[in-house]
Amino acid sequence: MTTAEPDTLELLRDQAATGAPEALYGLAAELVNRQQMEDAFALHARAAQAGFAPAQIELARMHLFGVGTDFDPAGAVQWLERAEAGGHPVAGYYLALIAVGGVAVMRDMRINARVLAAVNAQFPPTLRAAALHFGRKPHADDQRRCLQLLEQAAARGDALCAQLLVERLQKGEGCDIDQPGAEDLRQQLQASGLTKLPAVSADPPAAQPTPAGVLALEDMFVAAPARMLAETPRIGQVDGLLSADECRLLIASAQPMLKRSQTLDPETGEPVALELRTSQDASFDPVMGDLALRMIQMRIAAAAGVELVQCEQLIVLRYAPGEEYRPHRDYLPPETVERDGPQAGNRARSICVYLNDVEAGGATEFPKAGVTVQPKAGRAVVFDNLREDGSPEPDSLHAGLPVERGEKWLATLWIRQGQYRAW
């Protein structure tokens, strides 16, 4: 949204002085644009109390992320349930998003009904999530559903879905190859400042437990089978974990946020840029999370045998030619654990998912275990950082070998011993 002209704010204040919920909501939205979060929260609260569903949803989101008020997931859920009871399907979308974590909202079959209602309301983030769900299913009708949902979201201004749609049109995924259509859409995206995605061709995901033609999001909670590569430390490989659409979405979401990667200084424990790690990365703050991203993260967590709430923020990394992550271990020094999530303990496990095929180089090497895993789009490597007694496992030493040709994209979740996320 653009910032209002100087006299517009006064106009909005005059309108809000009437006490009309819609006017209170409009002023609150402008104050959010101006980063006046506490004042915006108070206005949303007044409009929400008056029964205005959009304000109830915004109030809930502010509670959920602690913006302009205290962090209060339970309060967020209460407001969303009020809005949903009033017939607002977008509230159901946010309840489904929270339910993925299985803590603040019960994880039950209502997640499908809520998502379906928001799909029928053409809410773009829900169209995106449903598209990715059907895109994992092999049946031709499901592939067409995926394409149709991407088209609907793109028509409503969803740039991420437009980027995914370009790739499907170009490669003929779920449709006939349409190079002119793909090129026209790509030029529109480039005019908006969005860069071309790297080529991603992933193997079909592992067999889906739900039938064709059915929106059944519970398949994200089913652990994908892993092939054990070593016992000490435990290292496993999961092929076909993520679909091509899911890999592309993570890359597209990360591209605008990339910055030089940092690592913990061995002396101070503070994050700094070191030659040890020469990649770029993007950290996905919960406030920018949507259902599609949460579903992908839940699928990755399930493959690692844990709940999503044990995971730190998702990190997506890009390695250009010559870039690497020299031998290191993922477990944290005690002082870092004490500063960040002491109740969650240390990093017990790591899971890394390759998001594209690398022309040459970029393998993940475990020198102590004698294991090397080659990058392949959709493939994951999962390994333990701690021993069974909770002590550090020094043999978890691993490295991201230098990329020789092309680039490497990687998604990583570091998993704590206990609950790290609130929801």
Q: For 87-111, how does the pLDDT look when each residue is reduced to its tens digit (9 = 90+)?
A: 999 999 999 999 999 999 999 999 9
What number of other Cβ atoms are within 10 A of residue 193's Cβ?
Answer: 8
221-231: average pLDDT: 95
Nearest to 132 by CA among 188, 210, 215, 251: 215
Q: What is the pLDDT of residue 269?
A: 63
pLDDT above 60 for 2 = no
> Which residue pairs, CB below 8 angstroms and at least 24 apart, start in 123-126?
123/89, 123/90, 123/93, 124/153, 124/156, 124/157, 124/158, 124/161, 125/93, 125/158, 125/290, 125/291, 125/292, 126/93, 126/291
User: Quick one: pLDDT at residue 290?
Assistant: 96
Q: How confident is the model at residue 417 (pLDDT cuts 50, 70, 90)?
A: very high
Looking at every residue in the chain, the average pLDDT score rounds to 95
Whether 175 contacts 216, CB under 8 Å:
no
pLDDT: which is higher, 280 or 203: 280
Place of tokens 């009871």: 85
Choose among 72, 60, 58: nearest CA to 24.
Answer: 58
pLDDT the model gives residue 7? 78
Q: Which residues pair with 398 in a beta bridge?
A: 328
Cβ atoms within 10 Å of 391's Cβ, excluding its own: 10
pLDDT of residue 267: 62
State phi, psi for 203 to the nearest 5 degrees: -65, 155
pLDDT computed for residue 326 by the predictor: 96
**pLDDT given at position 231:** 96
List pLDDT tens digits, range 128-155: 999 999 999 999 999 999 999 999 999 9
**Is it the case that residue 117 has pLDDT exceeding 60?**
yes
**How confident is the model over 263-273, as pLDDT tens digits?**
766 566 667 77
Residue 222 contacts residue 209 (beta carbons within 8 Å): yes
3 falls in which pLDDT band (50, 70, 90)? low
* C-alpha–C-alpha distance, residues 82 and 43, integer Å: 18
pLDDT tens digit sequence for 152-177: 999 999 999 999 999 999 999 999 99
pLDDT of residue 209: 74
Task: Please report the pLDDT score of residue 49 as a whole number.
Answer: 98
Q: Say what the alpha-carbon torsion angle 1, 285, 376, 386 is, to the nearest 10 degrees.
A: 180
Collapse the DSSP code of 409 into the 3-class scheme (helix H, G, I; strand E, B; otherwise coil) and give the result: strand
pTM, 2 dp: 0.94
Q: Which residues pair with 316 in a beta bridge?
A: 282, 411
Element (DSSP H or E) covering residue 238: strand 234-238
- Amino acid letter for position 190: Q
Structure tokens at 40: 């915006």
- pLDDT value for 264: 67
User: Which of 364, 381, 372, 375 is CA-nearest to residue 407?
Assistant: 375
> What is the Cα–Cα distance from 266 to 287, expressed in whole angstroms?
30
pLDDT tens sequence across 21-73:
999 999 999 999 999 999 999 999 999 999 999 999 999 999 999 999 999 99
Chain centre to alpha carbon of residue 373: 24
Q: What is the mean pLDDT of residues 200-207?
A: 86
